[in-house]
Amino acid sequence: MDSKKKENVVLTGFGLFRTYTMNPSWEAVRLIDEQKFDCSNIELVKIQIPVAYDEVEKCVKEIWKKYQPKLVIHCGVSSMARNCLHLEKRAVINKERYCQPDIMSCLPKCCPNDHVDPSPKPLDYVCTEMHLESIRDEINKHYYDGHIMIPAKISDFAGEFLCEFIYRCSLQYDCHRTLFIHVPDINRDLSIEDIAKCLELIIHLALKQLDSGSSGFYSSKSNKQSRIQSNAIDR
């Protein structure tokens, strides 16, 4: 009898950009030990994403159609995540908010760089339906017990650049099975191996949550239900 088909968990990290000669998000994803998931009937798929809007849209489309993942975890590096993992809660949908050029000096399609409407517009968000509080609490428990080197917090601002853009794209495919983790830069007290170990824990916690059904119910209306409105621009 054939063994049960493995389910895909897709992990992404970004390539080089700006002054980064090494991106900790991809290096940590690359180091995650697949053997630790052998007994879970899980196949880890690791993908490095160029820091470019067009490439992000193509890659996200391929991830969801080709791999039909059980879980997608996108990772990126942030200077705001100082020795702390940021579990991102939401991504802004309004394309005009993504006004920082990518490595190709491009903006998202339908996001003109020669005219910006100065009038404030309500921001529309898409949010993850994963229960971030329980993931954060478990990470911090392991941190205070000395098992990992990095604590975690929940963030509601993912930067309005490629990190938030890729989160936006994946959340619009399925907000129940998508996470974005901002990782800190490495320093003399924090290594890529430390970040990878934390990401391994997050994968286990997210899978456990999905298997228990506590992240919410699958629904064709899930993305509409996860959008919230803000009456003013606050970033």
**171 part of a folded domain:** yes
**235 part of a folded domain:** no
Region 58-79 average pLDDT = 97
Region 109-128 average pLDDT = 71
The pLDDT value recorded for residue 3 is 62
The pLDDT value recorded for residue 118 is 56
**1 part of a folded domain:** no
**Residue 232: exposed, middle, or buried by beta-carbon count in 10 A (0-12, 13-18, 19+)?**
exposed
Whether 2 shows a pLDDT value over 80: the answer reads no
Region 141-156 average pLDDT = 97
**58 part of a folded domain:** yes
The pLDDT value recorded for residue 5 is 84
Residue range of the domain that includes 139 = 7-111+120-230
Whether 90 shows a pLDDT value over 50: the answer reads yes
* Number of domains observed in the structure of the chain: 1
CATH assignment at residue 17 = 3.40.630.20
**2 part of a folded domain:** no
pLDDT band at 120 (very low <50, low <70, confident <90, very high): low
pLDDT band at 235 (very low <50, low <70, confident <90, very high): very low
**147 part of a folded domain:** yes
Whole-number percent of the chain with pLDDT over 70: 85
Enter the pTM of the model: 0.87
**180 part of a folded domain:** yes
Mean pLDDT of the chain: 88
**99 part of a folded domain:** yes
- Quick: pLDDT tens for 32-45: 999 888 777 899 99
